[in-house]
Amino acid sequence: MSDRITDTIATALGRHSIERSLRIGGGERKEWWNCIECDWVSEIFEIGSVSGESLQRDHHAAVIVAALKAQRIAVVELPQDVIIPTGWGDDCLGAWPTTSETDPVSAWPGHQVVTPDDRWMPSRDARSLEAALLAAADAAEAVSGG
């Protein structure tokens, strides 16, 4: 993880903290939580029916995802590996699906990655290609509405 990613997460976590508010009286015993940094406010609960710790975790998760997105840092759920196609040999370190109609992307010794169209590239170039593809997909979906 780069320093920029670590700093983005640490800054988001350091700023956002929630505090509890209570309303008792007139037969009501209510609580709600709000963030001291932003305008986030929870729904209103019966006192003791919700965990502030759980709300804090959920708010932190949302704030971290938003902060990463604002810094143009993608959070990607990686696909599970697939069965290595027959005949690829014992050196193949793993294969991951792309689309249903293409060969998978595969990993090989020497920091090599192979694309579905059989192009070999250093793993660092694969990371650059991935970042460029994600940026282009974001731009295309922003215009077309996803």
Instruction: By CB under 5 A, name the binding residues for Zn ion.
Output: 16, 35, 37-38, 40
Pairing of the two strands 112-114 and 105-108: antiparallel
The minimum distance between CB 93 and Zn ion, in angstroms, equals: 41
CA 75 vs CA 3, 5, 34, 61, 85: distances in Å:
16, 11, 26, 12, 29
Cβ count within 10 A of residue 106: 23
Name which of 35 and 105 has its Cβ closer to Zn ion: 35
Name which of 13 and 132 has its Cβ closer to Zn ion: 13
- Nearest by Cα to 47 from 34, 26, 30, 33: 30
Residue nearest to Zn ion according to CB distances in the complex: 35
The minimum distance between CB 62 and Zn ion, in angstroms, equals: 8
3-state secondary structure 21-67: EEEEECCEEEEEEEECCCCCECCCEECCCCCHHHHHHHHHHHHHHHH
The minimum distance between CB 53 and Zn ion, in angstroms, equals: 15
The minimum distance between CB 56 and Zn ion, in angstroms, equals: 10
Name which of 37 and 58 has its Cβ closer to Zn ion: 37
